[in-house]
Amino acid sequence: MPSATWASALVFLFLATLCALIPPVSAAEWSKLKVCSDLGFCRRQRHFSLASGLAYCVVVDTIGRAQWRGMPAIVATVVSTAPGHPDLTLAVMDVGMHTFRVALHEVEPLLPRYVVRDALADGVQPRSLDDATLVIHADYANIFRSDAPARVRIMFDPFRVELVREDDAQVLAVLNADDRLQVEPLREKPPPSPSPSPSPSPSPEPSSKEKAEGSPSDAKAPSVAGATPGEENEDAGDDDYDAYEDEHDDEVTGVARKKEGESGDERGDGCDGCWEERFQSHTDSKLRGPESVGADMAFPFAEHIYGIPERTKRFSLEDTVDAEGNATSEPFRMYNLDVFEFELDKPLGLYGAIPFITARNKADTVGMVWLNSAETFVDIRAKKDSAGKSTHWFSESGIIDVYFLPGPSAKDVFQQYLRLTGSPAMPQRFALGYHQCRWNYRDEADSKAVDAEFDKRDIPYDVLWLDIEHTNGKRYFTWDYSRFPDPTALQNHIAARGRKMVTIIDPHVKRDKNYALHQFATEQKYYINKPDGTPFDGWCWPGSSSYFDFTSPTVRQAWASRFNPKDYPHFTEHLYTWNDMNEPSVFNGPEGTMQKDLLHGDNLEHRHVHNIYGHYFMQATFEGLLQGHGGNDRPFVLSRSFFAGSQRYGAIWTGDNTASWEHLANSVQMLLPLQITGMVFSGADVGGFFGNPAPELLTRWYQAGAFQPFFRGHAHLDTNRREPWLFGEPFTGLISQAIRRRYEYIPLWYTLFAGNALGQSGEFGESWRGPPMRPMWWEFPEDEEADTNERQWMVGNALLVAPVVKEGASKHTVYLPDNELWYDLYDPSGFGKAVVKAGNVEIECELDRMVVLQRGGTIVPKQERRRRSTAAMGRDPYTLVVALNARREAEGELYMDDGKSYDHKSGAYVVRRFRFADNTLSVETVGGGKKPFHGSDALVERVVILGYGGRGAGSATVEGRTVDVAYAASTGVLTVQRIQVKAGDGDWALKVE
C-alpha cells in the first residue's frame, strides 16, 4: 500500500478511536445517567420500612451524658429485633445557635465509617451540656435549654427523635416517624452462592408521570478542540492511556435497566447489588460491601419543602411519592455530575449538592441538614392521615448525621445555617460588576479589542475571562504563547482601566512527563489512585489525565502553593481563578465522572467523598489566591461544583444552560434554592451557554441577570459571538442600559453581601442579613401566593424584580403582596410612580421596559455616575432613594470599606443606618467608623423621596443649610439635590418642610 494510503488509514483509525472515547456532542441523553433502579442501595432503601413490632426502640438505661467522638453529648443505644439490623449508638449534641445535632451509627462497625469533615465552619463544636436539662420520663426523654426556641424529645418505643417548640405547641420535625431507619451493617464478604438467591421485593412500576420524565444525561463532551488530531503526543494525551483497564470506556449504546422482579445480585449471594454492580460497561467493585444509611424525617406542620440544590425542578419541591406510598417520579438525587445540555424539570442532581432543606408554612419554619457527602436520594411525600410533609433520605455510605435548625422564622433558619456552615466570603467590589466571558477569546489582540469596545460604547464591565484555550495544550498554570505572547502585559493593560482578569484552572492534570505540575504530583504521590494503588488515569480536556486528591490537607496546601509567578508564570495581582469540571468530570468514566472505588488518602473510597470533592478543590484554590496575593487581597473563585459550606470560598454558576426562553425562566428556579441554602454568590450564564440567542432573548436575559447576584455573560466555543455591541439598535442600547443599571445598584449589592459575610456581628439590621436574592415568601411569609411564586424575587427587602421571560411579550403580570406600597422604578410615564393595586397586576412591558419596583418603607443607596468599572466608583457620590410606606416612614443601611482588602477586620469600614420619619432623614453610624479607607470621604449628593406626593416642592435643610429641592407632581417624587454631606462619617439629618 502506498505511504499516503497508509497515512490516511492511520488518520482514520486515530479519529475512529477518538470518537469512541468522546461522548457525542448532542442533546442530553438522560438514559445515560443512573436512576434509582440502577443502584442497589437505592433499591434497598427507597421502599424500606420496619414492620410493626420490629421497629427500633431505645434501651432506656443507656441514656445519659457522655463523650461521643470526643464531644459532649446525650447518648443512648437503639436496638431492633429485626434480623440484620445492627444496634445503633444515638448521640444528641447542642452545637450552638439553638441547633441540635443528631447522629446514628453502628455500635461496633466492622470498619470505620466516614464522617464528613470540613463542611462546617471553623469553631463549630458541641456546647457543654452541663447546663442543659435532661429529664427522663417513662416513655420519652427531654433535652432542653431555657434560652432555646425548641427542645429535643427522644421517644423510646418506637424510637423517634422529635424537635418540639419550647411551649410544646408544635412538633416541628420527627426523625424515624415512619420507621424507615436503616443502617446496613458492614460485614465480611460471603463466598458466591452456586445460584442466585431470590430477589427482594421489587420497586413499583414507574407511574405515567415518571415514564414521561424519562431517564437521565451524558457528561459534557469535548469538541474537537479538546483533543485535536495531529497534535504532538504531549498535546493529544498519551496514546496508550490506561482508561482504567479499558472496561470503563463509555458506551454510546442504551442502558439495560433492572426490570420488575430482577435483582442486582451479581454474585448470587442473596444481596441486591451489595458487592459489585455494573452500569453500561463500568463495574463498581464494592470491597466494603453494603453500607448505606437511610431515615425518614417528617415535618408535621409543613406545607412546603425547599432546598437540596442543584436541579431544574420547581422551587417548592414536588412530592415524589404519593400519600399511599406509590412512587410518582424518581427521587431527588444528589450526585455531582457534569451534565451535558441539561434539560428542565428533572429530579436528578446537577453539578453541586447541598443536603439542606427548609420546611415551612406561613407561621413556622424549620431547617434540616443531612450531612453526608456520598450519593444521596430524597423522597418527598404528603402525609396520608395528617397534615405536613414527610421526607426520606438515603445515602450510599457514611453515618446518619442530622442537624435541626429550629427557626422559628426563615431568617432565623438562614442565620443558624450560616453559623453552622460558615458565612459567605466577602467579595471584592469588582466581583459584583459585570463579567465578560466566552469559550474562548482567541488571543491577546482579541482580548484587547473586546476591552476597548466596552470603553468605546461606554458600557461598564469589570472582568475579562479566558477559558481553556489560553493554556498550552490544556496544561493549567500555563499559557499558549503563540496566542498570548505577553500575559503580564495583557493583564496590566486590562488593569489600567480598573479591571481584572480570570483564567480557568480545572482539577484534571495532563499526564505529560515534561509538564511540571504532573511531575510535582507524581513525585509527591498527590493523585487519586486506582484500587491497585497506581494513579488513576482518566480522559478529560487534555486527554490522558490524573486528578489531585483534594481531600488531603497536605495536597490542598501543595496546590495552594502553586499560585506564584514561579509555578504559574505571569500570575499577577490582577489575576483570579475559575474552577470548572470539578464534580469531577471524567469523560470516559461512569456517568462522565470518577469511579466510586478509586482511593483517596488513608484508603478512603471516592464513593464517600464524591459530593464534597469540588468543595475541596474550591477551598484549595481560595487558599492559593489568598497566599499568592499576599494575604490581604480577598480571593475571587468561581466554581461549578459545590457542597454545604462552599459559600465560604466564593461564587458558583448554574452550569451549561441553553439559549432558550425556558432556560431564562428556569434560572430563577435554580437560583432561589441556592440563595436560601447559603450559596448566595450565584448566577446563570447570561444568554445561555449553548446555542445562539435571538436579540430579544439576549436583551431580556441581561435585564434579568442585572438583578441577580453573579452577573456574567458566557457562551460555548461553537456559538456566534454575542458581545453587547453586535446586535444593533435597539438591542445594543438596551443591553448597555441593563448593565449600567447593575452598576447603579452596586452599593445595594455590596451592602447585602456584607450583611451576609459580616452580619453575625450584629451591626446590621435583620433585613440586611438574608440572601441578597430572596424568594417572595422570605419577605411576605403569611402570603400564600408568595409560597409558590418562582417568577419574581426580592433584592434584599427593597426591590421586587419580575423579569419578562416570554417571547414577544408586551404585557407582564406581576404579583404585588397586599398591605404594601410599591413604586415602579422604570415606568415610562415617570420614575418612582406609585402602583396602587395589589395582587396580580398587569404591567406594560415593551422591550425597553424592566419591571423593578421599590417597596415602601425602604431606603436604597445608589451610585449613578457613569463609570467604566467599579474601581472608578470608589469615591463617587451616593444617591439615597427613600420609598415611603403608608406611615410615611422608611429605613435602610449602607456598608462601606475599601472594596478589596481585609482591612475591615481591623476596623476600616463603616455601617450607616438611614431612617426617614416626621419628614426628617436621619443618618447615624452603627458599626465601624474608626479608621479611614479609600472611599470613606465620598458624599451623599441627592436624596430622592418616592411617595412624597401632593405637598409641593417645599424646602429642605441639612444641618441648618438650605439645599435645592425639585418636585415632580405627576409622580409625587421629591428630589433634594446638592446635599454634599459625607456618606460614611458623622451623624447628620435632612429636614424636609
Q: Catalytic amino acids?
A: 580, 583, 656
Q: How many angstroms separate the CA atoms of 498 and 234, rounded?
A: 38
Provide the pairing of β-strand 651-653 with 637-639.
Answer: parallel
Nearest Cα neighbor of 690 from 724, 726, 732, 654 is 654
Range 572-575, long-range pairs (CB < 8 A, 24+ positions): 572/488, 572/491, 572/492, 572/495, 573/629, 573/630, 573/633, 574/491, 574/492, 574/494, 574/495, 574/499, 574/500, 574/501, 575/491, 575/500, 575/501, 575/502, 575/503
Cβ–Cβ < 8 Å for 501, 466: yes
Q: Which residue has the cell 446525650?
A: 74
CA–chain centroid gap for 547, Å, is: 23
The span from the CA of 185 to the CA of 293, in Å, is 9
Does residue 407 contact residue 633 with C-beta atoms inside 8 Å? no
C-alpha cell at 174: 420527627
| CA separation for the pair 990, 967 (Å, rounded) | 16
Rounded to an integer, what distance in angstroms lies between the CA atom of residue 172 and that of residue 179? 17
CA-to-CA dists, residue 351 to 254, 321, 578, 796, angstroms: 23, 25, 15, 27
Of 924, 864, 918, 853, whose CA–CA distance to 890 is shortest?
918
The string of DSSP letters for 571-584 reads --TTEEEEE-STTT
Which grid coordinates belong to 10? Answer: 492511520
Main-chain dihedrals φ then ψ at residue 455, nearest 5 degrees: -65, -40
> What letter does residue 238 receive in the DSSP assignment?
-
Q: Give the separation between CA 294 and CA 393, rounded to whole angstroms.
A: 5
Q: What one-letter code names the amino acid at 394?
A: F
Nearest Cα residue to 796 out of 739, 840, 880, 860: 860
Cβ contact 643:373 at 8 Å: yes
The answer to whether residues 329 and 210 touch, using CB atoms and an 8 Å cutoff, is yes
Contact 579, 637 (CB under 8 A): yes
Cα–Cα distances (Å) from 651 to 565, 577, 628, in that order, read 25, 11, 19
Question: 402 - beta bridge partners?
Answer: 102, 370
Q: What is the 3-state secondary structure (H, E, C) of 736-772?
A: HHHHHHHHHCHHHHHHHHHHHHCHHHCCCCHHHCCCC
Please, what is the Cα angle at 653 between 355 and 279, to 5 degrees? 60
- Please give the Cα distance from 799 to 781 (Å, whole number): 17
Report residue 258: phi and psi, to 5°: -65, 135
Query: One-letter amino acid identity for 574?
Result: H
Tell me the HSE value of 881 on the side-chain side, using a 13 A CA sphere: 22
Q: List C-alpha distances in Å: 925 to 766, 863, 930, 978.
A: 16, 20, 10, 22
Give the burial class of 264: count Cβ atoms within 10 A of its Cβ; 0-12 exposed, 13-18 middle, 19 or more buried.
Answer: buried
HSE-up of residue 410 (Cα within 13 Å, Cβ side): 30
User: How would you write 399-459 as a 3-class SS string?
Assistant: CEEEEEECCCCHHHHHHHHHHHHCCCCCCCHHHHCEEECCCCCCCHHHHHHHHHHHHHCCC
CA 825 to chain centre: 30
